[in-house]
A and B are shown apart, each in its own frame.
Chain A
């Protein structure tokens, strides 16, 4: 009976209940949209960070991280073929690729600039889809002296595809070495600071410049990011079994920018959540207080004919709960609909800080976000009716009956 009473009372003053429900729906939709936007941003950033740059796992020679190397590639990996075969035996592994990073000077004869180069295996690097070519071609598969330049660096060097540049760097034995390279193409990663210094060159070319046969690291790409921890564990076992002195990092340990973005967005999401929480609390509390004021004599009557204080309290609490449930369900439906609409109309957003390209606004509907939005609606609505409900249950019957 209390449930029936509560439900009917919710629909008694329809306009007021509708306004309260609207507030809850707005709050829930806001949470769903922002949560969905956050989810897709995290997902996109994570996958692009992994697939374009970091790989899921990176393997180095033991001591690589802690030791300050005195010479380039002092802690480099030698003869990675056996290691790669062992790793690629795992079905969850999509591919492995070796890399070297090096720094030095690039010159066009008239002018020199510092560069940061990554020596990559062209075929595997292409599979990683690391960059977008602005002009020219990608790294050719079997040409060790071809390079591609970041857009900023190419502009600074006045270089275009087909031009020749000289790269100079310190070799693994500590002496200086220089090689001439042909500009195959110009690329952009979207991060301006990176594009102003970046060179990609074939691993063989980098090894030639550094006069070594070693590689710096081995990147492991998986089919599914969710397998990272499991694969890491099995690789650790594999290394121990073969007594390979290696160390390993996963993408999460390397993706500083990703973690900064996650922390920022979570902070904003938390703040929005608090605002929604506060608005719903005040709105529902106001509705219940008004309702109690209007129904004072009714409450007095109910108590006079034997309704207990706790029943009155529970009835108003149930009203808050029902407002929350109805608002939460409506919020889910609207949130779902609006999310789908947004995903269909392709709204473009301006480039984020540090990027040169905009991206489409998309919302990812995850069960976790929907459940959170629904629970926040229900819990805040119920919480905000606790005090007014308590007040109603403490009314003096005689005063309540005399209330007009």
Chain B
């Protein structure tokens, strides 16, 4: 039986007011993302990558078209009612890490689990496990301002993964990191994708990240222009 895609976009359009003019950020985008995919959205700045991620991430609404996440049409649901979808189904990794500065690395990873009301013992086990997986067991008690950029992004990855999401959305996750750190982060993410079968969608213009993706969708002026399947990575 044909498996339902995790994300399905049908003719999605999004326009932003910018001063007195309306800017078309997305024009009639249709896209299916399968379970376990490792997909890169490539394209220059302003091509609509972030807008597309925001729509898939249920933090923005399309003007027209439909978006289905895990088979559920989220288009008619107000954003504030999608908090549980974001909490249980999605994980976010941001370009600027976006950790909560008053919380330690441990607490940042713990935060989504508290939202999910995971019992204390299981929560603790999972947080420690994820901190270990991203190699930050020794930094658990440190706050974000005591961590390097690479370490912060690792905490952010642990936070995104700890809630056991089906889909992780990452917007330029390596843009604020040096190339060596970026490569390590990519190794980690790639390994996680392979091991957990969690779906990853990246917005990037980093060629090294694109080259690692299994699917690379190029965008230009709010539309999908080409799609490259790099099956070699899958093997």
Q: Measuring CB to CB, which residues of chain A are less than 8 angstroms from any residue of chain B?
A: 1, 4-5, 8-9, 12, 297-298, 300-309, 396-398, 401
Contacts and interface: CB of A to CB of B under 8 A. Distances in A.
Interface in B38-68: 54, 57, 59-60
Contacts, number: 70
Contacts of B54: 398
A305 B101 contact: no
Nearest to A298: B100
Contact of A308 (B83, B90, B96, B160): B83
B111 A308 contact: no
B83 A5 contact: no
Contacts of A307: 83, 87, 115
Given A308-B83, A398-B54, A301 B98 contact: yes
Contacts of B163: 305-306
B88 interface: yes
Nearest to B156: A301
A68 B204 CA distance: 101
A297 B95 CA distance: 12
Contacts of A5: 100, 102-103
A307 B159 CA distance: 14
B89 to A, nearest CB: 9
B112 A305 contact: yes
A307 B115 CA distance: 7
B100 A306 contact: no
Interface residues of B, number: 31
A305 B80 contact: no
A304 B80 contact: no
A316 to B, nearest CB: 14
Contact of A303 (B83, B96, B100, B112): B83
22 contacts: A1-B111, A1-B114, A5-B102, A9-B102, A12-B101, A12-B102, A298-B101, A303-B83, A304-B57, A305-B87, A305-B112, A306-B86, A306-B88, A306-B90, A307-B87, A307-B115, A308-B83, A309-B80, A397-B79, A398-B60, A401-B94, A401-B98
A306 B103 contact: no
B92 interface: yes
Contacts of B98: 297-298, 300-301, 401
B86 A305 contact: yes
Contacts of B111: 1, 302, 305
B43 to A, nearest CB: 18
Contact of B87 (A4, A9, A306): A306
B94 A301 contact: yes
B100 A398 contact: no
A397 B60 contact: yes
A327 B30 CA distance: 56
B218 to A, nearest CB: 23
B29 to A, nearest CB: 17
A153 B73 CA distance: 98
Nearest to B99: A301
Given A1-B114, A397-B59, A401-B94, A304 B100 contact: no
B196 interface: no
Contacts of B103: 4-5, 8
Nearest to A307: B115
A300 B86 CA distance: 13
The 5 closest A-B pairs by CB, nearest first: A306-B87, A8-B102, A397-B59, A301-B98, A306-B86
B115 A301 contact: no
Given A1-B107, A301-B92, A306-B84, 9 more contacts: A1-B111, A8-B103, A298-B100, A305-B112, A305-B115, A306-B87, A306-B88, A306-B115, A398-B60
B102 A304 contact: no
B209 to A, nearest CB: 21
A290 to B, nearest CB: 16
Contacts of B116: 306
Contacts of A302: 100, 111
Contact of A306 (B83, B94, B96, B110): B83
Nearest to B159: A305
Nearest to A308: B83
Nearest to A301: B98
Contact of A304 (B86, B96, B101, B107): B86
Contacts of B86: 303-306
A390 B102 CA distance: 21
Interface string B160-204: 100100000000000000000000000000000000000000000
Contacts of A398: 54, 59-60
B59 A304 contact: yes
B90 to A, nearest CB: 8
